Amino acid sequence: MYFRKELTFSTDRHEDLVDITSEINVAIVESGMEHGVCNIYVPHATSGVLVNENDDPNIIEDLLGVLRKIAPEGSFLHDRIDGNGDAHVKSAIIGPSESIPFKNSQLLLGTWQSVMLCEFDGPKYSRKVIITLFTG
């Protein structure tokens, strides 16, 4: 048995990490499923999904800082096409999905963990996040 829902988020900054944990937990409650696995997937080539801390906002800046060092803006062949080669590389490093178990209709995250949508080529009005829940 599975349940699928598409969520849409807008991003305000060129690069950002947006906490989407509560929206995912709402979708799990809406599904009526109590336990299983939740896959979170972004169908975009310049964004990603990761799980990390969102309590100290410096962690977001630290992560973005590391990615900027690995993939500096303006240093890629793809920049000749639409100027966002760095965003594609950052997206590939982070990856487009995470799978997280859920119990009592809530993600089984650690105290300091949040699910974050990663924007590398914003701001964008419409970033899709596809939630797929599987249960036995």
Query: Of the listed pieces 30-38, 84-92, 97-105, 123-131, which binds Zn ion according to CB under 5 A?
Result: 84-92
Tell me if 91 contacts Zn ion by CB under 5 A: no
Is residue 5 packed enough to be buried (19+ CB in 10 Å), middle (13-18) or exposed (0-12)? middle
Matching residue, tokens 């949508």? 117
For Zn ion, how many residues bind (rule: CB under 5 A)?
Answer: 2
Is residue 136 packed enough to be buried (19+ CB in 10 Å), middle (13-18) or exposed (0-12)? exposed
What does DSSP say about strands 36-41 and 2-9: parallel, antiparallel, or unpaired?
unpaired
Query: Residue from 21, 84, 91, 105 that binds Zn ion (CB under 5 A)?
Result: 84
Q: How far is the CB of 72 from Zn ion (least distance, A)?
A: 16
Query: Of the listed pieces 9-17, 32-40, 58-66, 77-85, which binds Zn ion according to CB under 5 A?
Result: 77-85
Per the structure block, which two tokens stand in for 64? 């973005």
Q: How far is the CB of 88 from Zn ion (least distance, A)?
A: 6
Tell me if 82 contacts Zn ion by CB under 5 A: yes
Name the residue nearer to Zn ion (CB basis): 21 or 91.
91
CA gap 102, 109 in Å, rounded: 8
Sites of contact with Zn ion (CB under 5 A): 82, 84
